[in-house]
Structure 1
Amino acid sequence: MLKPDKRTRRDDKAIRPPRAQDKRQTVSVRSPRAGASAPPEELSVPPGFSDLIGYFLRIAQEASFQALRQAAGKADLKPGWYTILSILSANPGLTPTELSRLCGRDRSTLTATLHGLDSRGLIARRRKDRDQRSYGVKLTASGEAMLRRLRVIAHAHDARLDAIVGRDKPALLALLRRLVDGLAAPAPQRPPNRRIGKRAKTR
């Protein structure tokens, strides 16, 4: 039997095309403990996440909250404080149920947020005269001062977002509204598995 020439095998290896390398996307993230001047870290997007809308919505939301916390100088600033304080300033005395409807948050998660605002002296809770089982919520003087500060920061933050998005802002807002409306609608029901039905008939 003829043995293959070693030079031929080396030549075959030389002409083989290189393996395709995985093109991994990266996102820039900044640690909440890092200062505002600290450069963001480049982290690889998990495999299979590069085209997931929900993943990038979550990443963008967290990046926005971190930027707000750094601008406010409060590491314990919770998402949604500005919205809640703004609603209470315009509607003093709202019940938690009414507030949850206006801010679009679940009552169970809103209760923990109100407790945090109350412990910091930003809101005051008072029992209703007609119904002692419910109470109304309003801002304190410290809450009004915090709202004024957050309002300035929020406007500057929105201006920064406008600069990042640029001319694509109308299209981005339209897509976000479509997501909100689509997710608010009932989810389509999956059709029944026909294969299972056919197997059941043949038995």
Structure 2
Amino acid sequence: MNARTRVSSHQAAKPEIQAPLQLDSQLCFALHSTALAMQKVYRKLLGGLGLTYPQYLVMLVLWERDGLILSEIGRRLFLDSATLTPLLKRMEAAGLIRRTRDERDERQVVIDLTAQGRALKRQAAGIPPQILCATACAPETLHRLKDELVQLRGHLAQYE
């Protein structure tokens, strides 16, 4: 067997590489379609709580620390105030939060949970285990995947 034959047989053993402009070879599409599938599961689970997925994310932030200003919530969720404000208005109309002007700086809007919003936390406690079940993954696998995605997000943020 000569060197040329070895190279050919080695190349034949390599897995086929997808063309760079095929949809299924795009990382962005894998992330996008997975996010859509995840949100579909959340939509089903959150329906009973009367929350949309973005509202659930806001509630998670406020359940961690109540009384945040709008821009802090936006930073945590990677959302600008133009996206967040209509969402918060709907949540206020639903009785989950209260929006008030900061006494020290009236340009800032403070977001506080209402009693109804705080009570919803107990009802939402069953969602993470149901999501774990829906993924059919071990908790360690999901933690590792989440950590890798956070790292990827950080790298991409530096590219901006």
Structure 2 Cα separation of the partners of residues 169 and 118 of structure 1:
33
Kindly tell me the number of residue pairs found equivalent between the two proteins. 140
Structure 2 Cα separation of the partners of residues 173 and 141 of structure 1:
31
For residue 59 of structure 1, what is the aligned residue in structure 2? Answer: 33
For residue 108 of structure 1, what is the aligned residue in structure 2? Answer: 82
The letter for the 2-side match of 1:80 is P
Q: Which runs of 5+ in 1 are unaligned?
A: 1-46, 188-203
Q: What's the CA shift for 1:67?
A: 0.8
Structure 1 Cα separation of the partners of residues 117 and 143 of structure 2:
33
Q: Secondary structure, in 3 states, of the residue corresponding to 1:185?
A: helix
Q: Secondary structure, in 3 states, of the residue corresponding to 2:98?
A: strand
- Contact conserved, 2:46 with 2:53, CA < 8 A, in 1? no
Does 2:127 correspond to 1:150? no
- Contact conserved, 1:122 with 1:139, CA < 8 A, in 2? yes
- Determine which structure has more spread, i.e. the larger CA radius of gyration: 1
Identify the structure with the greater helix proportion: 2
Specify whether residues 116 and 158 from structure 1 end up closer, same or farther in structure 2 by C-alpha distance, changes over 3 A only.
farther
The letter for the 2-side match of 1:177 is V
- Partner deviation per Cα, 1:154-199 (whole Å, 9 max, x = no partner): 33213432x2367754653454234212211125xxxxxxxxxxxx
Structure 1 Cα separation of the partners of residues 91 and 102 of structure 2:
20
For residue 22 of structure 2, what is the aligned residue in structure 1? Answer: 48
- Partner deviation per Cα, 1:2-22 (whole Å, 9 max, x = no partner): xxxxxxxxxxxxxxxxxxxxx
- Of 82, 85, 99, the residue aligned with 2:59 is 85
- Contact conserved, 2:102 with 2:109, CA < 8 A, in 1? yes
RMSD: 2.7
Q: Which protein has greater RCO, CA pairs closer than 8 Å, 6+ apart?
A: 2
- Of 58, 69, 72, the residue aligned with 1:98 is 72
Q: What's the CA shift for 1:49?
A: 0.9
- Partner deviation per Cα, 1:79-133 (whole Å, 9 max, x = no partner): 2323311222332221101221223222221112211211211101122222333
Q: Secondary structure, in 3 states, of the residue corresponding to 1:138?
A: strand
Q: Secondary structure, in 3 states, of the residue corresponding to 1:124?
A: strand
- Contact conserved, 1:68 with 1:154, CA < 8 A, in 2? no
For residue 111 of structure 2, what is the aligned residue in structure 1? Answer: 137
Does 2:134 correspond to 1:182? no
Same amino acid, percent of matched pairs:
26
- Partner deviation per Cα, 1:14-56 (whole Å, 9 max, x = no partner): xxxxxxxxxxxxxxxxxxxxxxxxxxxxxxxxx9311111112
Specify whether residues 49 and 98 from structure 1 end up closer, same or farther in structure 2 by C-alpha distance, changes over 3 A only.
same
